[in-house]
Chains A and B, each alone.
Chain A
Amino acid sequence: MSTSNPSRRRSFTPYFLIAPTLVFLAAFFAWPMVQGLILAVHDDEALLPLVAVASVEGDRTGELSQGAAVEILGQQGNTVEGELTSDLLTEQWFRVTAVGTDGAAVDGWAPETRIRVRDEANDGTPLAGTVRPRLGEGAEPLTDVLAEPNERAEVTGSLDDRAEVEITQVTVLEVWFNVRGESNDGATIEGWAPSRFITTFESGEEGRVDRGSDGEFTLRFVERMFNDRFFSPALRTTLLLMAIILPLQFLLAIGMALIVHSRLKGGSGWLYIFSLPMGMSDLAVGILFFAIFTSNGLLNSILDLFGLIEEPQVFLSADTRGWIIGAIVLAELWRATSIVMVIIVSGLQAIPDETLEAAELFGATYWKRVRYIMLPLLKPSLLVALILRTILAFQVFAVVIALSGGEIVTVLANETFRQYFSLRNNNVASAYAVFILLLSLASSVFYLRIVRTQDELASR
């Protein structure tokens, strides 16, 4: 019914007031979050561009995908003048003079990996050093000295381990490989790429694109998530848990809140007792219930005490999924009902006493007051609690881990964790995270919609 009034002045004061908060959120929360979540559809290292000459300015000849096999056709070390570009792998080469293995004087280049610098000038320029010993079996015993600062250059002599060398010149090289491989569209392409993106095999003739330097948007990870064999069990279990837990939880919470509300005048003892579980972390609660249901746990002890069982029952095993689900439901009810209750209690306290007294006076019994006065007036509180609990139910994790080890019963949050930690698959983990986020958003919008249409119907 709100007929919009075009001449209404908008007040910007609230926007100014929240501006610092928005900046803070954007800088420290939204930005990193987007960075993380974008992983779900973006592969940062998907493509390796090849260029025509061994230089970042070279023209692109094509791209190779990550993991593509390549032939290594050549190698080039570009001398770096002045500033180093952090983008490329660099190597330091020393020009050394020493007495060779055969007693002759040797003059040539050796990489920094072979020479330990023992003496430096005041400005840090290396002056002298020794040849590093080669360790391990089967290692080439001698260190070669080369004509040029390039591993493929001609060998001019060999040095013994720990031979003393004089360093006459230092140069820094960017190492590039000339490679040939098959691009995504099947064409064979050739070009140069910085060596650090390529793993070479033993022979030195062949290698593989280790990772790319260019990103690419892709639904690959989302598809991987959907096709993951744990995806549908995880989704199903999450929804099943929600469908069992939420209705029970709200019934319980409303009951508890009514008890607390009617007793508050006499003291708030019930409130404290009921909200005790809020002080425990979800993992702790999971462990607590594990201790109850485990084969030598409390439940078995009690059953045994009353002579109901001959020997300890195994409740939490692959054959007793039902028991695990039951234990998770109990643990979640025990843990998270109190927060719902607290929200409802605060909603109840916002109802004026006289409103309830009026209802009582006009002949409403307690149940009718609950039905016709309290519940309708609690609608905003219930909505808040419902949205909160639904979002948290999509994220259920620690209790499940504690009670099933995350193997027998799995949930969406657990799959995120598995992909990230066990499988080191950040992108798929991120896809799971985005999926949970979207489910949460959708459910909130859904609830708000329902309430709004209801209100519209009611005010008609």
Chain B
Amino acid sequence: MAEIRIENVTKVFGDFVAVDDASITVRDQEFLVLLGPSGCGKTTLLRAVAGLGMADAGRIMIGDRDVTYARPGDRNISMVFQSYAIFPHMTVRENIGFGLKMNNASQGEITSNVEEAAELLHIGDLLDRRPNEMSGGQRQRVAVARALAMKAEVLLMDEPLSNLDALLRLEMRAELKRLLREVKATTIYVTHDQIEALSMGDRIAVMKDGLIQQVDEPSTVYAEPKNQFVGSFIGNPPMNFLRGKVHMASDSVAVAIGGSEIVPSPELRDAVSSFDGRAITLGIRAENMGALNAQEANTVRVQVDVVEPLGAQNLLTVRVGDDTLKVSTHPTFPVSPGDELWLKFPADQIRWIDPDSGEVIAGGTS
């Protein structure tokens, strides 16, 4: 039983706040991906969990134990460092077995665990090499194997696949996921690759500038981002954002965008109407818009700039006033650059965003 509870953790370097009041609960045996752009504080938060660099405020619990002040070696965790941090003077075998040796495991256990971990990471034939005789990717796999061989309850991984080629990364991604399910470790996995996050995580914690933005399942984070940053950071292409202006129509509220009127879904009308007379941002994913040749209700007229055929879909870059949008259409839909189209915005796929705070406007408390 190793639930990780990060409670209001803050870490400050001088007067720079690297992690700002972060709270995440990672459930027992869960695979949580910590996702965010470079420099947002992912490593710093992970190190705080590991006990390397004490948190300046807050509390960290592993299982039922408050480990805020426990030494790293006493937390029953293992970790893959972003810089690998493998021991240059030891062979791969000694590196992988180091944690077990320090914890006084029997020689037999060390040998079997080391070989098992090495097999998993396809470095079984490198066991007698030294780090300076290996490629960067091989070193990284040694670092992962070293962490796995410990069979600790908590596994912290700081971008463990960042140095592998695309193919190997794809393979390792699946393998690692299967593996972690097997070892039943509670895992925090740091990455800045959103595809990795979406495909591997049980849940994703999105971080920006030291602040946790959203912690949710991948599908939720993708479809229902909490704010404009999450929407723009996750998904390829990222979520589209359009400026509009809210005004009260005869019977209900409407948003003027590119000469058309978009009516919010019924449960959001109250929330949106509070913006009456002010600007609002509309967020929608490329695949959620319908492209039409004629005007309908809730459609906006757009100009096609670029057409990118991607096989399963065509990705259009279109213009609405000053904003550009990415729209994906079925490959059979006839379109060429310069055409005019009507885009349909299904009301239930639209995220309305407060342009001042960037927060997605929640559905009225209905």
Do A and B make up one complex? yes
A138 within 8 A of B: no
A362:B89 contact, CB within 8 angstroms:
no
- Complex contacts, A362 vs chain B, CB 8 Å: 73, 78, 98-99, 102-103, 146, 150
CA A363 to CA B151, docked complex, whole Å: 13
In the complex, what residue of chain B is closest to A362 when comparing beta carbons? Answer: B99
A343 within 8 A of B: no
Min CB distance A18 to B, Å, is: 27
Given known A354-B81, A359-B98, A361-B77, contact A373–B71 (CB-CB < 8 A): no
- Complex contacts, A373 vs chain B, CB 8 Å: 87
- Complex contacts, B134 vs chain A, CB 8 Å: none
Partner of B79, one of A352, A361, A377: A361
Min CB distance A121 to B, Å, is: 86
- Complex contacts, A118 vs chain B, CB 8 Å: none
A-B contact count (CB 8 A): 58
- Complex contacts, A358 vs chain B, CB 8 Å: 79, 81, 85-87
B63 within 8 A of A: no
B83 within 8 A of A: yes
Interface string of A361-378 (1 = CB under 8 A from B): 111110010001100110
- Complex contacts, A361 vs chain B, CB 8 Å: 50-52, 72-73, 77-79
- Complex contacts, A311 vs chain B, CB 8 Å: none
Interface residue ranges of B167-209 to A (CB < 8 Å): none
CA A377 to CA B87, docked complex, whole Å: 9
In the complex, what residue of chain B is closest to A356 when comparing beta carbons? Answer: B85
- Complex contacts, B50 vs chain A, CB 8 Å: 361
Min CB distance B157 to A, Å, is: 13
Task: Kindly name the residue among B51, B86, B88 whose own CB sees the greatest number of chain A CB atoms within 10 A.
Answer: B88
CA A372 to CA B87, docked complex, whole Å: 10
A120 within 8 A of B: no
CA A360 to CA B78, docked complex, whole Å: 10
CA A372 to CA B85, docked complex, whole Å: 15
B72:A360 contact, CB within 8 angstroms:
yes
Min CB distance A366 to B, Å, is: 10
- Complex contacts, A379 vs chain B, CB 8 Å: 89
- Complex contacts, A363 vs chain B, CB 8 Å: 73, 99, 102-103
B27 within 8 A of A: no
Interface residue ranges of B318-365 to A (CB < 8 Å): none
B102:A368 contact, CB within 8 angstroms:
yes
B73:A357 contact, CB within 8 angstroms:
no
B269 within 8 A of A: no
- Complex contacts, B78 vs chain A, CB 8 Å: 361-362
B130 within 8 A of A: yes
CA A355 to CA B86, docked complex, whole Å: 7
Min CB distance B63 to A, Å, is: 17
Given known A361-B52, A362-B78, contact A354–B83 (CB-CB < 8 A): yes
B52:A357 contact, CB within 8 angstroms:
yes
CA A357 to CA B80, docked complex, whole Å: 11
In the complex, what residue of chain A is closest to B51 when comparing beta carbons? Answer: A361
Interface of A, secondary structure class, is: helix
Q: Give the size range of B's interface with the partner.
A: 20 to 34
Interface residue ranges of A325-357 to B (CB < 8 Å): 352, 354-355, 357
A86 within 8 A of B: no
A459 within 8 A of B: yes
Given known A361-B50, A361-B78, contact A376–B89 (CB-CB < 8 A): yes
Min CB distance B140 to A, Å, is: 13
Min CB distance B323 to A, Å, is: 45
B73:A459 contact, CB within 8 angstroms:
no
- Complex contacts, A459 vs chain B, CB 8 Å: 130
In the complex, what residue of chain B is closest to A376 when comparing beta carbons? Answer: B89
- Complex contacts, B102 vs chain A, CB 8 Å: 359, 362-365, 368, 372
CA A355 to CA B84, docked complex, whole Å: 9
B85:A352 contact, CB within 8 angstroms:
yes
In the complex, what residue of chain A is closest to B98 when comparing beta carbons? Answer: A362
CA A392 to CA B346, docked complex, whole Å: 85
CA A279 to CA B95, docked complex, whole Å: 42
Min CB distance A100 to B, Å, is: 98
Partner of A360, one of B73, B83, B146: B73
Min CB distance A30 to B, Å, is: 36
CA A352 to CA B85, docked complex, whole Å: 8
CA A359 to CA B86, docked complex, whole Å: 9
In the complex, what residue of chain A is closest to B75 when comparing beta carbons? Answer: A361
- Complex contacts, A359 vs chain B, CB 8 Å: 87, 98, 102
Min CB distance A454 to B, Å, is: 12
Interface string of B150-173 (1 = CB under 8 A from A): 100000000000000000000000
Interface residue ranges of A52-77 to B (CB < 8 Å): none
Given known A361-B73, A362-B73, A363-B73, contact A354–B85 (CB-CB < 8 A): yes
In the complex, what residue of chain A is closest to B130 when comparing beta carbons? Answer: A459
Min CB distance B190 to A, Å, is: 15
Task: Kindly name the residue among A354, A359, A362, A377 whose own CB sees the greatest number of chain B CB atoms within 10 A.
Answer: A362
Given known A361-B50, A368-B102, A459-B130, contact A355–B73 (CB-CB < 8 A): no
Min CB distance B22 to A, Å, is: 20
Task: Kindly name the residue among B79, B98, B103 whose own CB sees the greatest number of chain A CB atoms within 10 A.
Answer: B98
B85:A355 contact, CB within 8 angstroms:
yes
Min CB distance A144 to B, Å, is: 90
Min CB distance B259 to A, Å, is: 57
In the complex, what residue of chain B is closest to A373 when comparing beta carbons? Answer: B87
- Complex contacts, A377 vs chain B, CB 8 Å: 88-89
- Complex contacts, B88 vs chain A, CB 8 Å: 355, 377
- Complex contacts, B146 vs chain A, CB 8 Å: 362
CA A361 to CA B53, docked complex, whole Å: 12
Min CB distance A460 to B, Å, is: 9
CA A372 to CA B88, docked complex, whole Å: 12
- Complex contacts, B85 vs chain A, CB 8 Å: 352, 354-355, 357-358
- Complex contacts, B77 vs chain A, CB 8 Å: 361
Interface residue ranges of B46-91 to A (CB < 8 Å): 50-52, 71-73, 77-79, 81, 83, 85-89
Min CB distance B106 to A, Å, is: 15
CA A328 to CA B8, docked complex, whole Å: 60
CA A365 to CA B103, docked complex, whole Å: 10
Task: Kindly name the residue among B72, B77, B150 whose own CB sees the greatest number of chain A CB atoms within 10 A.
Answer: B72
CA A376 to CA B103, docked complex, whole Å: 20
In the complex, what residue of chain B is closest to A360 when comparing beta carbons? Answer: B72
In the complex, what residue of chain B is closest to A460 when comparing beta carbons? Answer: B128
Min CB distance A442 to B, Å, is: 28
Min CB distance B260 to A, Å, is: 56
A355:B99 contact, CB within 8 angstroms:
no
- Complex contacts, B130 vs chain A, CB 8 Å: 459
- Complex contacts, B79 vs chain A, CB 8 Å: 358, 361
- Complex contacts, A354 vs chain B, CB 8 Å: 81, 83, 85
Given contacts A357-B81, A358-B81, A364-B73, 17 further A-B contacts (CB under 8 A): A352-B83, A354-B83, A357-B52, A358-B79, A358-B85, A358-B87, A359-B87, A360-B73, A361-B50, A361-B52, A361-B73, A361-B78, A362-B98, A362-B103, A364-B102, A372-B102, A376-B89
Q: List 13 A-B contacts (CB under 8 A).
A: A355-B85, A358-B85, A358-B87, A360-B73, A361-B50, A361-B79, A362-B73, A362-B98, A362-B102, A362-B103, A362-B150, A364-B73, A372-B102
The 5 closest A-B pairs by CB, nearest first: A362-B99, A354-B85, A358-B85, A363-B102, A363-B73
A residues within 8 Å of B by Cβ? 352, 354-355, 357-365, 368, 372-373, 376-377, 379, 459
